[in-house]
Structure 1
């Protein structure tokens, strides 16, 4: 067992936001579920990560009740749910320690948002020496308005940019079907 599946921010907080209506990949939860099943069948650890913004009063504030894995997916006994407060899953959690202790050298990464927490975690993992597989169709994102009021970048363009930036530099890009064999 040298690979782990890291599921990032597949949490109810996102679905509680109006922005969810513009999600680019309505199958993200189903696809993440397929990766979870495959990882468990292979005996690979599954590590769940959720994002929290304590004290903000928003949907990412733990007091909101939304900072939990989506209702359709249930962490199994022994699968940790780590709570992060920054964009990557390493800096404010003990993820790296857990991976080191378990002898994990490669990661399969999926979750929300493609270009934000999932990409950032992928980059940090690569910098830490992990071999990373980024499963794009088990990620999701939203259109991004330009910071100065210019045009909006479509979710499809966000995903394409993320793949261009990661492929061959920080990760290998794969599909759910390539991972689960179907």
Structure 2
């Protein structure tokens, strides 16, 4: 086993926010499940990551009960579950130690949000020397407001602002930023096809 699938922040916290209605893929958990099945068939390690902000009082505060895997996901007892408090999955966790102990050198990453925790984890992993595959259609994100937009706007106001960056544009820009520099960009279909060719 030299490969691992890192599932990042596919958690109920996001569905507890009004912004969830704008997500690029409300069924992202289904795509993640496909990757999990693929990893298990190959004998790869599956690592589950949850984002938590204790004491924040928002949807990422474990005390509110949303910091748990989305209901559609099925983690096995032997698969590590780690909690992070930073954007990347390495800085505030023992992820690197866990991977090093198992001799993992190749990572497949997926999760929420495309340009935030998943991209940041990808960049850090690349800098640490891992070969990374970023599975773009097993990530999800939301539109991003312009930096000068006032805080506290409704979803409708966010979407009505022509300066708002759409989720699709965020994903496209993330692919451009990562490809050939920090990761190989792939889709779930491509990985399934490649696994079929190896079998």
Matched, 1:95 2:107: no
- What is the aligned partner in structure 1 of residue 132 from structure 2? 132
- What is the aligned partner in structure 2 of residue 55 from structure 1? 55
- What is the aligned partner in structure 2 of residue 142 from structure 1? 142
Matched, 1:156 2:147: no
How big is the shift at 1:74?
1.7
- What is the aligned partner in structure 2 of residue 7 from structure 1? 7
How big is the shift at 1:77?
1.6
Q: Give TM-score scaled by structure 2 length.
A: 0.90
State the secondary structure of the residue aligned to 1:93: coil
Distance 1:66 1:41 in 2: 30
Matched, 1:23 2:35: no
**5+ residue gaps in structure 1?**
none
Matched, 1:167 2:186: no
How big is the shift at 1:27?
2.8
**5+ residue gaps in structure 2?**
150-160
How big is the shift at 1:180?
1.6
How big is the shift at 1:140?
0.2
How big is the shift at 1:179?
1.0
Count of residues in Structure 1 that have an aligned counterpart in Structure 2: 182
How big is the shift at 1:26?
2.4
Larger Cα-atom Rg: 2
Q: Give TM-score scaled by structure 1 length.
A: 0.98
Distance 1:26 1:41 in 2: 26
Task: State the Cα RMSD in Å.
Answer: 1.0
